[in-house]
């Protein structure tokens, strides 16, 4: 029985050491999970901070772009309106009854009202 007792004693020692190693591994996994959770929270905070900065920058760019676009379109419309007015004056100055190939909305509305009254 000496060999069996010795084998059982060794087996018990191995079981206890493995149990201790398992508990240490579980504690290490829990600590790693906490560390990862903190790291992920910090990373998400960094992402949110960068995203808000990018949104502010993008909003400012879009605002200035749209302002410049509105100004540019208004300027072109003003120029076109002036050219159209000059062309009408030139047509009328010739004394000929030349109708332009295009009309303004106001001209179309006036003609429609005259034809409805008739």
- Tell me the whole-structure pTM to 2 decimals: 0.46
Secondary structure (3-state) at 50: helix
pLDDT (tens digit, 9 = 90+) per residue, 8-61?
A: 999 999 999 999 999 999 999 999 999 999 999 999 999 999 999 999 999 999
Rg (CA), the chain: 43
Structure tokens at 46: 């960094």
Is the pLDDT reported for residue 95 higher than 70? no
pLDDT (tens digit, 9 = 90+) per residue, 49-65?
A: 999 999 999 999 999 99
Q: In terms of residues, how long is the chain? A: 118
């Amino acid at each position: 029985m000496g060999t069996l007792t010795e084998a059982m004693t060794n087996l018990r020692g191995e079981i206890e050491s493995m149990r201790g190693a398992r508990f240490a591994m579980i504690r290490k996994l829990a600590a790693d999970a906490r560390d990862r959770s903190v790291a992920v929270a910090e990373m998400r905070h960094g992402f949110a901070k960068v995203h808000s900065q990018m949104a502010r920058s993008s909003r400012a760019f879009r605002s200035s772009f749209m302002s410049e676009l509105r100004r540019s379109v208004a300027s072109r419309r003003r120029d076109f309106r002036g050219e159209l007015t000059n062309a009408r004056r030139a047509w009328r100055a010739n004394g000929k009854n030349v109708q332009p190939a295009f009309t303004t909305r106001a001209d179309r509305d006036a003609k429609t009202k005259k034809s409805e009254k008739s």
